[in-house]
Structure formats: C-alpha cells, structure tokens
Structure 1
Amino acid sequence: MSVSQVILLLLVGYSVFTLDKKQKHLPVPTLLFLLGIILSFIPYFAGMDVTERVLYDIFLPALLFVSAYRFSPKALKKNAGIIGLLSTVGLIVTALLLGFFTHVVLGSMVSITLVGALLIASILTPTDPVSVVSILKQSANNEKVADVVDGESMINDGTSVVLFTVLLGIYTSDKSFSAASFISEFLYVSLGGAVLGILFGWAVSKAVHITQHKEYQVMLSIILSYGIFHLAEHIGVSGVLATVASGVMLSWEFDHTNKEDHYREALDGFWGVVEPTILSIVFLLMGIELTNHFKLEHWGLMVLLFVASLIIRFIVISGVIQFFAFWKKSIGWKDTALITWSGIRGTMSVVLLLSLEAKVDGEAELLLSLCFGVIFLSLVVQSLGIYPLSQKMKD
C-alpha cells in the first residue's frame, strides 16, 4: 500500500463526507464500503495489499480509543449490567447457536466442519456501531437503545478476539477443546486487558497535569491509545479491551476531576479529525478486499446465514433482557428488534477474517467467502435499513 494510494483514498473519503448530505438514509461508512468495491476493479487499487496487521495494529487502536473516550461514563454505569452480559455471555451463546446452525443446515449443503462453523460464527458476532448510534439518537430519539448498542460493540470486540483465537488454534492444529482451559484463558485475557487499561487510563489522567500545552496533552492521548494496545498484546492480554478501558477511564476522570481544565476540548478536536480520516481508509479497504473472496455461487448460503444471524441475535437479546427488571419492564419487542438490527458487522469481523486468511493459507476459501458475503449484506442492508426501521418503531 503506497503513500499515493493512501492519499487518493483520503481524497475519496473527504469527498464522501463532504457531499453525503443524507447520512441518515445512506450512512457514510456504507457508501465508502460500496465505493471500495468499485475501486477494486481499477487496476491501480486492485493490487493493494490489505493485511490484518495493517488494520489491527495501525487503524484499530485509534478507532477503539475514540469510541471509548467519547462514550458517556454515566451511560456505561447505568447500563453496565446489560452491556456486560450481552458482550460476553450473550456473544458466546450467539456464536454457539450460529455455529451449530451453520454446521447442521449449511453443512448439509456444503462441507463445513463443526469447528469451521463455530469459527464463522465467532467472526460474525462482533458488532460495529459506526454511524448507527448517531442515526438512532437522531431518528428514534431513544438514548438507552443507542447506548446499549454502542457499549456492547466496544466490549464484544475483545470477547470475539478471545473466542476466535481459541477456535482458530483448534481449527489449524487439531487441538482439543477444554471448557476449563477456555474459561481460564478468557478470564485472564479479558480481565487482564481491562485492568491494565483502567490503570493506565487513570495514570494518564493525572499525568496530563504535568504540562499545560494542549498539543502535548493530545500527544499523551496518542501514546495511551497505541501504547496500551501493543503493551497488552505483548504481555498476552486483550489489547482491544485494554484500549477501550483506558479510553473510558480517561473520560470518566475528566468528567469527575478535571472539568475546569478543559482537557476534553483539545482531545475532542484532534480525535474528531482522526476518526473520519481512519474510517475513510478502513471502509474503502474493506470494500477493495471483499472482491478477492466474494463468490456468487455461495449467494444463497450467505443470505441464509445472514438471516439466521439476525434471528439468533434477536433471541439472545430477548433472553438477556429477562435478567434485568428495569429493561424487562421498559423495553418491548420493537426496541429489541432495533438493537438486533443495529448489530452491524464491520471492522473487527474483517480483521478476524484476514487473520484467518493469513493462518490457513488458502485452505478456508469457503469460510472467507461466506463471511465476506454476510459482512456485505450487513453493511448494506442493515445500514440502509436503520433509519426507516427506527422511524417505523416509533409508531
């Protein structure tokens, strides 16, 4: 991926953000994704090398940090129970149900092992709230639904990485699955990442006092977002959850102890530029990469898997809601359907797919094709349906 290619992608992104005046009806990430598919047919862009390391190491930490930093600590505290259950136990149950469905139903039509089916499910369970949350808040005027969708997507990325890593190890080396081993690894990786992120987020919130120069304070936030991610990955805990936890902790500290110092304004200005810049590149790259694996002969299976994933997600969310008296009383099937539909697959699913591609070296083309097809349907169908569905659910 050359510098000139990146500059041209940024130019495309700038043009889309500037010209797209109907972002509720046609969200920018969806439009960028579709334009990326078009660009893939232009020889200059078709040869771009999109790897999981580029997305995971360079782009993902910034996206995770800005998402967590902007998330309201008050909203997280208020909805911590349902967000935590949905993004951990709920995600694992969703992956198991979708995996068994894939093995039994799709496996009767094409050759898919149970581990391969579970691997597909682990790739398709993390959600991406980009553009969805703002649309929900504008159109549905439902803060609690938007907060749950946003909070779930932040944390379930970390859960999905742990689940995917375990299943990939079994898939590539025929390791046996041990429930006790999985639970212990999951707790170590996830809790270790979260604790590390909280500690460093708190430390940076105090260190920001050392200088009054806003530029240096912004520099410190960059060090935090990338430093904590790679430190966590280096010591074997979740870099995703560490980055999310550090962003949430920094935001919480600023709200409670540093209101008068206006640190947030400087950080908001910087990250407000970084976010659309990275989103432009990432979603265009996702569209370009899609055409390398998309197989039309699997179209029927993709649609079936996509529909099944929505139905299973609706069932799991409905079940999780029963554990919370407030949500059980205040939320109906319409809100549940809206949360279900808002669970769009995006960046993390593509990162996991590219990780699978790198590890299996062309041996799992069917898995790649099915997953990219579902991601395509999710980004297009669900994104375009968010606004009309949220309007309909208000009636």
Structure 2
Amino acid sequence: MSVHHILLLLIIGYIVFSIDKKQEYFPVPTVLVLIGITLSPISYFANISITKDLIFHVFLPALLFISAYQFPTMAWKKYKYIIGGLGTIGLLLTIAIFGGFVYLIGNLFIQISIIAALLIAAILSPTDPVSVIAILKKSSSDRNTADIVEGESLLNDGTSIVVFGVLLSMLTQGTTFSLSGFVSEFLLVSLGGVAIGIAFGWLMSKAVHYTDHRQYQVMLSIIVAYGSFYLGELMDVSGVLSTVTAGMMLSYEFGKNIKEDHFRDQLDGFWGIIEPTILSIIFLLIGIQSARYLVFSEWQLAILLFLGSLIVRFLVITAMTQFHSTWKTYMSLRECAVIAWTGIKGTMSVALVLGFEAATDKSSEFISIIFVVILLSLVIQSASVYPLVKRLKGS
C-alpha cells in the first residue's frame, strides 16, 4: 500500500466524517466499509490488503488507548461488576454456547471440528463500540447502556484474544483441551496484562509532571498506548489488556486532581485527530479486503451464524443480569436487547479471522463465512441501532 493510497483513503474518510458532524444519525464505519467494497473492483486498489499484524500492531493499540482513556471513571466505578462480568465470564459463556451452535449448524453444510467451531465463536464474540457509542448517546438521554456497551467491549477484546490464542494452538499443534491448563493460562495472560497496564499507566501519570512542554506530554501518551501493548506482548501476556488498563489508569490518576484538566485538553486534541484518521483507513481497508470473500456458496450458513450470534448474546446477557438482584436494577429486558444488538463485530474480529487464515489451511470458503458474518453485523446492526433504541426506549 503506497502513500498515494493512504492519502486517498484519508480524503474519503475525512469527507464521510465531515458529513457525520452534520447529521443526527450517520453510521460512519458502516458507510466506510460499503465504500471500501465498491472500491475493491477498481484496479487501482487491487493490490491493497490488510493483515492481522497491521491491525494488531499498528492500529489496535491506539484505538484501545483512546477508548480506555476516554471511558468515564465514574461509569467504571458504577458498573465495574456488570462490565467485568459481561466482559469475562459472559464472553466465555458466549464462546462456549455459540461454539456449540456453530458446530451443530455448521456440520449441516460443511465439515467442521469442535475446536474450529469454538475458534469461530471466539472470532465473532468480541464487540466493537466504535460503530454505536455515538449513536446510542444521540438516540437516548440514558447514558447507562452506552457506558456498559463501551466498557464491556474494552474487556471482551482482551478476553477473546486470550481464548483465541489457546484454541488456535490446540488446532494447529493438535493438543488436547485441558480445563485446568486453560484456566491457568487464561489467568496468567489476563492478570499479567492488567498488572503491566496498571504499572505503566501509573508511572506515566507521574512522568508527565516532569515536563511543561505539551508536545512531550502528548508523546508520553503515545508511549503509554504502544509501550504498554508491546511490553505486554514481549512478556507473553495480553498486550490488549495492558493497553486498556494503562489508558484507564492514566485517566483515573488525572481524574483525582482537577489541575490535570490541561493535560486532558492536550491529549483529547491529539487523539481526537488520530482516532478518525485510523478509523478512516481501517474500515475502508476492511471493506476492500472483505469484498474478495463475498463470492461463495454458503451464504445461508453465514446468515444462520449471524442470527445465532445475536440470539446467544441476548440469552447470555439476560441470564447474567436478570437473575442478579443488583444488576437487574440497572438493566431491564429492553436494555438487555439493546446491549445484545449493539454487540457489533468489528476491528478485533477482522484481526482474528486474518490471523486464523494465516495460521491454518482452512479453505477460502471457510474464511468467507466468517467475513460475511462480520459484514452483516457491521451493516445491519449499525444501521438499525438508532431506530431500535428510539423504539425500545420510547423516546
């Protein structure tokens, strides 16, 4: 991908984001993906591709840091148990149940092992709040749902990667599943990532006081975003959770002192430019890449898996919240339905399916099924969030 390609994608992305600023409701990621699909047949874009490493090591740390740093500290304090439960136990339950569904339904169409079915579930279970948070806030005066969706997404990205890594090694190396081994590996990778993130975020929140130069303060935030991620990966723990925790820790430390507002202003200004820049490139690339997988014979299976993922997510969220006396006060069945519907597949799912394709010998049709489920989620769910929330909340 050349500099000319990047500049052209940025121009398209900035135009779409400019239109978004003037509209009450405009699902930017969905529009960018659809534009990317229309660009794909053009020969100028024929050699453009997106890889797992590009998403995972270049784009993802920045996007995770932005979401974590901007996530309201008060919302985390208020909903930490719901967010923590849905982002960890809830995701594990979703992968287990949806994996069983993929295995049963998938084998009616193609041959699929239970491990491969669970891997597909792990790929399609993490959620991407970028597409829906702004829409949720516009469609309802109640910020609770948006905060829970955003917080859950930050955690379930890290959880899904850990599960995906364990399952992928089982598939490629032929190892057998061990519950005790899985739990120990999961705890080591997850807690290790959180520990690095806490330490990194705290150190950087103190280091920022040693310079009065705004440029250096912004540079320190870049070190937090990428340094915590790469350090986590270097230590064989979750780089995603390291970055998320570091971002939230930095925000928490700044939030303790009102004098830190000028730091926030500088960081918000910088990352407020970086976020739409990254999103413009990544969603256009997702559209261009996914267009190459749309011609295949198992569309019926892809549609069934898309519907199944929604049903399983709704059932898990409902079961975890409606039978808990405290959580039930925050979330009615309507809120459960909204949160289930806004669990849109996005950047993380694309990164995982590309990693899955690179590490296995699965046919292009197999990968196409997963890509189509992601596209259906991005397009259908994003486009219908606004009318759905307005209808369910009666506002």
**TM range, normalised to the smaller chain?**
over 0.9
**Structure 1 residue aligned with 2:171:** 171
Amino acid paired to 1:370: I
**Structure 2 residue aligned with 1:291:** 291
**Structure 2 residue aligned with 1:121:** 121
Within a 5 Å distance, the mapping from 1:210-359 to structure 2 comes to 210-257=210-257, 259-260=259-260, 262-322=262-322, 324-359=324-359
Contact 2:129 2:149 in 1 (8 A): yes
Amino acid paired to 1:242: S
Spell out, residue by residue over 1:74-127, the C-alpha distance to the aligned partner (whole angstroms, 9 max, x if none): 101110101111111110110111111111122122211111111110000000
Partner SS, residue 17 of structure 2: helix
Cα distance, 1:258–1:227 mapped onto 2, change above 3 Å: farther
Percent of aligned positions with the same letter in both sequences? Answer: 52
CA–CA distance in 1 between the matches of 2:170 and 2:295? 26
Partner SS, residue 77 of structure 2: helix
Q: Is 1:137 the equivalent of 2:169? A: no
CA–CA distance in 2 between the matches of 1:167 and 1:38? 35
Q: Which moved more, 1:102-111 or 1:207-216?
A: 102-111
CA–CA distance in 1 between the matches of 2:275 and 2:23? 16
Contact 2:296 2:365 in 1 (8 A): no
CA–CA distance in 2 between the matches of 1:22 and 1:180? 53
Partner SS, residue 309 of structure 1: helix
Q: Which moved more, 1:65-74 or 1:109-118?
A: 109-118
**Structure 2 residue aligned with 1:87:** 87
Instruction: Compute the TM-score of the two structures, normalised by the length of structure 1.
Output: 0.97
Cα distance, 1:24–1:308 mapped onto 2, change above 3 Å: farther
Pairwise CA distance, 1:21: 5.4
Contact 2:296 2:368 in 1 (8 A): no
CA–CA distance in 2 between the matches of 1:242 and 1:365? 33
Amino acid paired to 1:393: L
Q: Is 1:62 the equivalent of 2:62? A: yes
**Structure 2 residue aligned with 1:392:** 391
Pairwise CA distance, 1:358: 1.1
Spell out, residue by residue over 1:239-269, the C-alpha distance to the aligned partner (whole angstroms, 9 max, x if none): 0000000000000111103535511000000
Pairwise CA distance, 1:23: 5.1
Amino acid paired to 2:77: K
Instruction: Compute the TM-score of the two structures, normalised by the length of structure 2.
Output: 0.97
Spell out, residue by residue over 1:267-297, the C-alpha distance to the aligned partner (whole angstroms, 9 max, x if none): 0000000000000000001111102222342
Amino acid paired to 1:320: M
Cα distance, 1:223–1:66 mapped onto 2, change above 3 Å: same
Spell out, residue by residue over 1:19-71, the C-alpha distance to the aligned partner (whole angstroms, 9 max, x if none): 34565543111100111111111111121131111111001000000000000
Amino acid paired to 2:393: K
**Structure 2 residue aligned with 1:104:** 104
Contact 1:98 1:121 in 2 (8 A): yes
Q: Which moved more, 1:189-198 or 1:330-339?
A: 330-339
Cα distance, 1:23–1:41 mapped onto 2, change above 3 Å: farther
Q: Is 1:39 the equivalent of 2:39? A: yes
Pairwise CA distance, 1:131: 3.4
Q: Which runs of 5+ in 1 are unaligned?
A: none
User: How many pairs does the alignment contain?
Assistant: 394
Amino acid paired to 2:389: S
Partner SS, residue 4 of structure 2: helix
Spell out, residue by residue over 1:176-215, the C-alpha distance to the aligned partner (whole angstroms, 9 max, x if none): 1111111001001011001110111011011000001111
Pairwise CA distance, 1:2: 1.2
CA–CA distance in 1 between the matches of 2:23 and 2:127? 20
Contact 1:136 1:387 in 2 (8 A): yes
Partner SS, residue 130 of structure 1: helix
Spell out, residue by residue over 1:302-336, the C-alpha distance to the aligned partner (whole angstroms, 9 max, x if none): 11101110000000000110354232134221111
Amino acid paired to 1:153: S
Q: Which moved more, 1:21-30 or 1:77-86?
A: 21-30
CA–CA distance in 1 between the matches of 2:359 and 2:281? 24
Spell out, residue by residue over 1:360-395, the C-alpha distance to the aligned partner (whole angstroms, 9 max, x if none): 1x4243331111011010000000010000100122
Contact 2:109 2:298 in 1 (8 A): no
Pairwise CA distance, 1:149: 0.1
Partner SS, residue 120 of structure 2: helix
**Structure 1 residue aligned with 2:156:** 156
Partner SS, residue 175 of structure 1: coil
CA–CA distance in 2 between the matches of 1:163 and 1:12? 36
Cα distance, 1:96–1:329 mapped onto 2, change above 3 Å: same
CA–CA distance in 2 between the matches of 1:207 and 1:385? 44
Contact 1:116 1:367 in 2 (8 A): no
Amino acid paired to 1:369: S
CA–CA distance in 1 between the matches of 2:366 and 2:116? 7
CA–CA distance in 1 between the matches of 2:137 and 2:165? 34
**Structure 2 residue aligned with 1:370:** 369
Q: Which moved more, 1:314-323 or 1:90-99?
A: 314-323
**Structure 1 residue aligned with 2:380:** 381
Amino acid paired to 1:100: G
Partner SS, residue 366 of structure 2: helix
CA–CA distance in 1 between the matches of 2:131 and 2:115? 33
Q: CA RMSD in A?
A: 1.3
Q: Which runs of 5+ in 2 are unaligned?
A: none
Cα distance, 1:175–1:144 mapped onto 2, change above 3 Å: same
Q: Which moved more, 1:244-253 or 1:22-31?
A: 22-31
